[in-house]
A and B are shown apart, each in its own frame.
Chain A
Amino acid sequence: MTTTLDRIRITSGSGGPRRERDTDPGAAQRGRAEGLTYPGRMATTRGSTDDLGGSAPGPADRAQVLAALREHLPEQAVLTDHDLVQGYRTDRAMFCPAGMPLAVVLARETAHVQHALRVASRFGLPVVPQGARSGLSGAANAIEGGLVVSTEKMTEVLELDVANRFVVTQPGVLNAELSRHVEAAGLFYPPDPSSWEFCSIGGNLGTNSGGLCCVKYGVTADYVLGLEVVLASGEVLRTGRRTVKGVAGYDLTRLFVGSEGTLGIITEATLALRPAARRPRTAAALFASGRAAAEAVAAVVAGGHQPSLLEIMDSTTLRAASDYLRADLPADAAAMLLWQCDTGEGAEAEVRAIGAVVQGCGGEVVEAADQAEADLLLAARRCVLLALERLGTTLIDDVCVPRSRLGELIDGVARIAAERSLVIGVVGHAGDGNMHPTVVFDSRDAEQTAAALASFDDVMALGLELGGTITGEHGVGVLKREWLAREVGPVGLRVHRDLKRALDPAGILNPGKVFSLAD
C-alpha cells in the first residue's frame, strides 16, 4: 500500500493534486471578495462563494494575531512560512476556491485547539478544521486571512478496550493505522474509505465517510459512541458515552459527525469496534452492459443477500485500473461486479448463492482462485481514482440512489457522457446505490472543462430525479453548496442555519462551507 501513497505524492507534487488551470479573473475576483481566493489559475469554480457568514476577517493585525497564538502554543505549532502554509491550502477537490491562511495551527493537544479558537473568536477570524486533506469537496480548503487548525499531528490511539470493544483515539490517526491497531487485538473497525491510507479519523468524522464495507456494516456515524469537541468559543464538550446504549439528551454526537467542520473541532473520538471479521470469500462477474450489472445488484439486494462488499466498475475504470496496476484485468467487459461475503463457514455458500442470482441477470461469474487473485480484484477497485487521475483531470461525483434505480443511473450517465462528448468512468459502491461517475478530461481545453462541469451538474440532477442524493459520502463542502440548498429546500436550509448559529453564533467555523449563512 505504500506504493499507492508514493504514487499520490508523485502525481500531486507538494501542494496537493493540483493541475494546470485556466484563467478566469472574474472567478478569482469573486473569491477574493469573500476571503476565498483561488490557488493557481483555474477555469471556473463551483458555486458563487458570495458570503462568509458575515465573519469575513476584519483588518486584524497579523502580528497581533500571531503573537496571541504563540502566547500559548509552541513555536513549531504555528506555521506562517509561505511555502509551508501553501501545503495546507486545499484538499483534493477540483475547482474549489481556497485562500491563503494567515497561519496554520498544527495542534498537538486539545488545549492547542482551544487556544486557537479563542484567538480566532477574539479577532473574528474564520477557522478551517483540517485532517489529512484527502477530501473531495473543498470542505477543508483554507480561507483567505483566516486560520487553519489541523489535527493531523494528534496521532495517538489513546485506549483500546477489548472487553467493551471500543477504541479512544485522537483525530489525526489515519484510518488504516487505526484499523491495523485494532486488528492486532482481534477487533475490526469497519469504515474503510478507499482513501484509508491517507485520510484521518477526524476527517472521516467530519464527512461521515463511507467505504467498501457499508453495504453490510454501515458508515462512520454507526460506529461513533462519543466525541470530545472544541466549540467555536473554545469550550470543550464531551458528547456520548462509552456504553453500547445510551439516549441521554439530543444526539449531538451524530450532529457533529458529517458537519464538515462547521460546528466544532473534534479532538478525540470513542469508536465502537466489532469482532474481527472472518476472512472473506471473493467473486466477480462480467457483464455485457452496465445496465445488466445494475439489475444484478438490485436482484441481489431484493433476494435478501448480505454481501460484505458489492462494488461495480465499468469498462473505462477497469481499463484504467488494469493499466495502473500493470495487471491483466478483463477490460473488454462493459461492467464488472465484485462481491465478498465474510460469514465464515457460510461464506462460500453465500458467495455462490449471489453468483447464481448474478448469473440469472446475465453475469459471467468468476470466483477468485486464491487470495492473490482476490487481493488483485480489490486493489483494482481501490485504485480507480488514482488510475483515472493519470489519464487527465478528474471530477468525481458521489450520487447515491435507491438500489432499485441503479440501472437508470448508469444509463443516464452514459447518455450524459455521449451528449457532452466526454469520458465518464463509472465506479461505485453498488450495494449501497452510491456511485462515483468520474469525468476525465483535459483541463487545458476550456471547452472540455466547461462540458465536464456541466456534466457534473447533470449527474447530480439525475441523481435527485431518481430519488437520490447529491452526496452519499464525500460531503458538500464548497463543491455542492448550491446543490445542497436544492436538495434540502428553503425550510431545511433555514434549520441548518439556525443550528449553525446555535452552536457557532459568530460564524467562525468553516464559514461558507456546506451552505452559505446568508439568505
Chain B
Amino acid sequence: MSTVERTHTLTDAVLAELAGIVGPANLLVSDGDVEPYARDATPLFRARPDAVVLPTDTAQVSAVLALATRAGFPVIPRGGGSNLAAMTVAERGGVVMVLTRMNQIREISSDELLAVVQPGVTTAELADAAAAKGLLYAPDPGSRTVSTVAGNVATCAGGLRGLKYGVTRNYVLGLEAVLPTGEVIRTGSRLWKDVAGYDLTRLLTGSEGTLAVITEVTVALLPMPATVGTGVAYFDSLADAGTAVARIIGLGVLPATLEFLDNRCINAVEDSNHLGLDRTAGALLLFGDDGPDTHVATSLDRMAATCDVVGARAVTRARDVVESDALMAARRCSLPALARLAPITMLEDVTVPRPLLARMVDTIDTIAAQHHVVCATFGHAGDGNLHPTIVFDPHDGDARHRAEAAFDKVFHAAMDLGGTITGEHGIGAAKRPWMAARLGEDQLALLRRVKSAFDPAGILNPGKLGS
C-alpha cells in the first residue's frame, strides 16, 4: 500500500498543453476514465493519477516528457499494466503514459531473425506474427496476452521457457527510447554483436520505466523448433521433485520446461479446471523440451527415466501437441485457480539456487503455518524461481497483515539461502522495503546516481526501483 505523500497536481495550463500534444482523444482526466489506470495487477496498491495520456507516436512521447521536465510533474510509463509490483501506480500523482496505442509491428525479418515493434504490441501478438513466419519469440510470460513488449523489456520479463531460452534481456537487440528531457536515443542495433560504447540497451532493460520511455524495440527471433514434447510426473514430496530436477540438470539436459506445482496448487487447479490431476501427490513436475524430433524424443526419455529412478509415483507423456498444451494448461492456470480461493491473491516471486528449491518450499510452508495464512507455491523449478502465493479475505481481521508479515519472512529466508527477492517480477513500489536488504546501501546509492544521470529532474516513475 502506498504511504507516499502525493506531491503533484496538474494546473489547467499543463492539462491544456497535454491536450495540445496528444490530442483531446488521447488525454483522460475524468474520474471514471482515469480509474482503470489507478491500479495495475498488484493487489492493495491504488493511486489516482492526475491524468492519463495515450500518445500515438514518438514525437508525442517526446513532447510530453519535455513538458514534464519543464513543469516538474511525474510521468509513469505503462504498457499492459500487468506487472505485480505496483510499478505503474502513480503514488505521487502526475501523468500515466500508456503506450498501447503505439501498437504496430513494423517488421518481422526471417533474413535477419529479428522483429521491430512499437512498444504497445503485446507479447502474444509479436509471438504470433513471428510464428506465422516460422519463427519463435522465446520469452513467454504467463501474462503474454496482455503484457506489452516494452513492458516486458522494462521488467526484463521471464517465462516458462526461461531455463533453456533465458529471459527478455537475452533477446533485446536495440531500443529507441525517449529521455526525460524529450531527447530521443537509439541504443544497440539490429546486430547480433555490438560493443560500441556502454550497454545502454541492457541498462534500460529491467529499469522499470525510471530511466527512459521505450518507443521501439528490436528483438531477436529464433528458428521455430520442429516439435514440442511435454510430460508430467507426480511425486510424494516436493523434495523428491527437487531431486529429480537436480538429476535432470545434472544429466546435462537443458530442457525447455521444468515447472512444478505443490499439493495445494494441484488441488486448486483441479477444483477449478478438472484436469484429472492426482490430488494426493506432494508435487507435480512438468517437463518438456523442443527441437528436432529425435532430440525431443531422447530428451523426454531421459527426463522420464530420471523421474522414475527418483521414485515418481507416475510419469506420463503427452502423445501430441494438443495433449502437450493440456498439460501446460495445468501450470498456466495455477494463478487464476488460486485467485478463485479468496478475494485477494498475493503472488510473490523469489529465486534461490536451484538445489535449495525444496528447502525453500519447506521454509515457505513453515512460515505460512506460523502466520496462519493459506499459501500455495508453484514456479520455474529449472531456474530456482518460485511463486509462493497467499490468498486471503481482506475482511478477515488482520489477514492482510499476516500475509505481509509472512512474505517479509519469505524474502529474508530467500536471501539467507543466497537467493534474491525477485526473479522476474521486479521491484516497483511493492518490494521497495526490501531493496536495501538485498542490494546494500552502497549499491542503492549507486543506482540513485545512475538514475539522476538519466533523469536529473526525477520525473520518470519517481520512487520506483528505489529511485
**Residues in chain A within 8 A of chain B (CB atoms):** 161-165, 186, 207-208, 210, 214-215, 218-219, 221-222, 231, 235, 237-239, 241-252, 254-255, 257-259, 263, 274-276, 298, 301-302, 304-306, 343-346, 349, 400-404, 429, 431-434, 467-476, 480, 484, 487-489, 491-492, 495-496, 498-499, 501-503, 514-515
Instruction: For A469, give its contact among B191, B206, B254, B454 (CB under 8 Å).
Output: B191
Cross-interface CB contact of A257 among B199, B224, B384, B422, cutoff 8 Å: B199
- Name the residue on A nearest B439 (C-beta): A249
Q: A251-B203, A472-B191, A498-B453 are in contact. Are A345 and B295 (CB under 8 A)?
A: yes
Q: Does B163 contact A (CB under 8 A)?
A: yes
Given contacts A251-B206, A434-B193, contact A243 B465 (CB under 8 A): no
Name the B residues within 8 Å of A222 (CB-CB): 166, 170
B309 within 8 A of A: no
Interface: B400 (CB within 8 A)? no
Taking A248-B422, A468-B189, A499-B198 as known contacts, 20 extra A-B pairs with beta carbons closer than 8 A to each other, sorted by chain A number, are: A214-B192, A214-B193, A219-B193, A239-B443, A244-B383, A245-B423, A247-B422, A248-B420, A250-B451, A257-B199, A304-B135, A304-B224, A345-B298, A404-B112, A433-B193, A472-B195, A476-B197, A495-B185, A502-B449, A503-B450
Q: Is B374 an interface residue (CB 8 A)?
A: no
B197, B294, B444: which has the most chain A beta carbons within 10 Å? B197
A349 CA to B453 CA, complexed, in Å: 52
Residue B461 at the chain A interface, CB threshold 8 Å: no
- Across-interface contacts of A468 in B (CB, < 8 A): 189, 191
Contact A252 B447 (CB under 8 A): yes
The verdict on B250 contacting chain A, using a C-beta distance below 8 Å, is yes
Is B32 an interface position by the 8 A CB rule?
no
Interface residues of B in 73-92 (CB under 8 A from A): none
Contact A221–B202 (Cβ < 8 Å) = yes
- Asked if B420 and A241 sit within 8 Å, CB to CB, the answer is yes
Total number of residue pairs linking A and B with CB closer than 8 Å: 257
Which chain B positions have C-beta within 8 A of A484?
196-197
Instruction: Please state if A499 and B195 are interface contacts (CB–CB under 8 Å).
Output: no
Could you say which residues of chain B place their CB within 8 Å of the CB of A231?
Answer: 446
| B195 partner, pick from A208, A302, A401, beta carbons under 8 A | A208
| Interface flag for B276 (CB, 8 Å) | no
Known contacts A245-B384, A249-B435, A400 near B111 by CB under 8 Å: no
Which residues of the other chain, A, contact B427 by a CB distance below 8 angstroms? 247-249
Residues of B within 8 A of A346 (CB): 291-292, 294-295
User: Taking the nearest CB of chain A, how far is it from the CB of B410, in angstroms?
Assistant: 15
**Shortest Cβ distance from residue A176 to the other chain B in the assembled complex, whole angstroms:** 21
Q: In B94-152, which residues have CB < 8 Å from any A CB?
A: 109-113, 134-135
Contact with A along B219-245 (1 / 0, CB 8 A): 000111000000000000000000000
Judge if B249 is at the interface, Cβ distance under 8 Å.
yes
Q: Which of B191, B211, B291, B418 contacts A433 (CB 8 A)?
A: B191
Q: State whether A404 and B252 are in contact (beta carbons under 8 Å apart), knowing that A243-B383, A345-B295, A495-B454 are contacts in the complex.
A: no
B111 touches A301 (CB 8 A): yes
Structural contact, B440 and A238, CB atoms closer than 8 A:
yes
CB–CB B196/A470 < 8 A: yes
Q: Is the CB of B200 within 8 A of A404?
A: no
B189 is contacted by which of A215, A238, A469 (Cβ under 8 Å)? A469
The verdict on B156 contacting chain A, using a C-beta distance below 8 Å, is yes
> B188 — nearest CB in chain A belongs to which residue?
A469
Expressed in whole angstroms, the Cα–Cα distance for A301 and B113 within the complex equals 8
- Decide: A243 and B249 in contact? CB cutoff 8 A: no
- CB of A480 to closest CB in B, whole Å: 8
- Does B462 interact with chain A (Cβ within 8 Å)? no
Tell me if A252 and B446 are in contact (CB < 8 A). yes
Q: How far apart are the CA atoms of A297 and B234 in the complex, in Å?
A: 46
Q: Is the CB of B197 within 8 A of A248?
A: no
Q: Chain B residues near A163 (CB, 8 Å)?
A: 246, 249-250, 353-355
Given A164-B355, A251-B169, A346-B294, verify A499-B453 contact (CB < 8 Å).
yes
* Cross-chain pairs A/B with CB under 8 angstroms, 6 sampled: A245-B158, A248-B439, A251-B207, A258-B198, A259-B198, A343-B295
Cβ contact within 8 Å between A467 and B196: no
Residue of B nearest to A475 (CB): B195
Of A237, A248, A432, which contacts B193 at CB under 8 A? A432
| Contact pick for A235, options B189, B195, B355, B442, CB 8 Å | B442
Residues on the A chain within 8 Å of B222, using CB: 306
Instruction: Assess whether B450 is in contact with A473, with CB atoms less than 8 Å apart.
Output: no
B458 at the interface (CB under 8 A from A): no
- The smallest beta-carbon distance between A234 and chain B, in angstroms, is 12
Find B196's partner among A237, A246, A249, A476 (CB 8 Å cutoff).
A476
